[in-house]
């Protein structure tokens, strides 16, 4: 392990400490991180390959799922390699520019994911409330535009943060008690006026989490009203069943995000290692679990995954003959 005494560090460097108070468990914690990282890569690449190779899945709901998988992969590559380096050998050194870049991409990807989840809620709303107009409302062009909006929204909302941090002075410690360059963890190290950073960070988070959750809730309120107007109980169950995967993904994504958000800003008596563990749960679990949820609960994807693997095994068997 590298020494954690970094008072004479070059001023262009930060040091990511990992999980303070749990340094003796870092090697053990790397095991679930490796498992979750592997599950993220395998699961999301499988989703992308299956949807890309099966024309029957070239529908808006699955295209949105591909966007989600792409974002999850990108977010994982932004965090997991450095996290494992910290847990394995205490390699927490990170340049100021790399720290700001990591901060930008992690938070921007989280905002993009929230936008895609909102788009998926809108997709379910149109599919259930306006089934006859579904194909004309959610055309390929509209889906593409939604993807561009998701990317632009996350990027634009996060763009001011690195510049706001760039104006701050770090005259004391440059040791970040975290596993990645989280916005508020870096801001707390500054010795100048950090109110603009705090206000902007809170505003951006509320604009994304607050607005998206409200709109998702509104979509499902309209969906519930439409479903319970159906006369057949079988039709009600079928309609609600199409929303099951998306509801699970929303719970997986937003529950740790909200816990992390509120404990970081209002849980002043919550131990620091709990803050950091929650933040890592928020970044590591949803990307690993989302493909599993859709693979298990969505019949079309489940069947296509089995078909692709059976076809692959058949090709391998013929080649070996």
Q: In degrees, to the nearest 5, what angle opens at C-alpha 17 toward C-alphas 278 and 287?
A: 35
> At 236, is the pLDDT very low, low, confident or very high (cuts 50, 70, 90)?
confident
pLDDT reported for residue 299: 76
More confident residue, 300 or 66: 66
Average pLDDT rounded to a whole number, residues 62-78: 94
- Cα dihedral 212, 215, 217, 223, rounded to 10, equals -140
CA pair distance 151, 69, nearest whole angstrom:
14
Average pLDDT rounded to a whole number, residues 290-311: 77
The model's pTM: 0.88
Decide: helix, strand or coil at residue 15: strand
In 3D space, the residue among 108, 190, 199, 195 whose CA is nearest the CA of residue 155 turns out to be 108
């Amino acid at each position: 392990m590298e020494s954690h005494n970094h008072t004479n560090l070059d001023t262009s460097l930060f040091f990511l400490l990992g999980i303070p108070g749990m340094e003796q468990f870092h090697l053990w914690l790397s095991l679930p991180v490796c498992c979750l990282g592997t599950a993220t890569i395998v699961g999301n690449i499988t989703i992308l390959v299956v949807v890309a190779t099966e024309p029957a899945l070239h529908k808006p709901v699955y295209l949105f799922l591909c966007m989600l998988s792409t974002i999850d992969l990108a977010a994982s590559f932004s965090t997991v390699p450095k996290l494992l380096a910290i847990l394995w050998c205490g390699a927490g050194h990170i340049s100021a520019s790399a720290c700001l870049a990591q901060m930008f991409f992690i938070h921007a990807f989280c905002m993009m994911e929230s936008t895609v989840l909102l788009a998926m809620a809108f997709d379910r709303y149109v599919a259930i409330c306006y089934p006859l107009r579904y194909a004309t409302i959610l055309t390929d062009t509209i889906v593409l535009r939604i993807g561009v909006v998701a990317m632009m929204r996350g990027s634009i909302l996060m763009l001011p943060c690195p510049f706001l941090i760039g104006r701050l002075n770090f005259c004391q410690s440059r040791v970040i008690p975290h596993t990645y360059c989280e916005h508020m963890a870096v801001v707390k190290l500054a010795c100048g006026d950090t109110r603009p950073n705090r206000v902007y960070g809170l505003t951006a988070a509320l604009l994304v989490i607050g607005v998206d959750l409200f709109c998702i809730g509104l979509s499902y309120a309209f969906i519930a009203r439409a479903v319970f107007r159906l006369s057949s109980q079988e039709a009600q169950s079928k309609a609600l069943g199409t929303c099951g995967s998306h509801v699970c993904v929303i719970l997986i994504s937003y529950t740790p995000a909200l816990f992390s958000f509120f404990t970081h800003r209002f849980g002043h008596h919550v131990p620091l290692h709990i803050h950091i563990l929650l933040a890592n749960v928020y970044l590591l679990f949803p990307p690993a679990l989302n493909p599993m949820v859709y693979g298990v609960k969505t019949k079309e994807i489940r069947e296509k995954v089995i078909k692709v693997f059976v076809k692959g095994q058949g090709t391998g068997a013929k080649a070996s003959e």
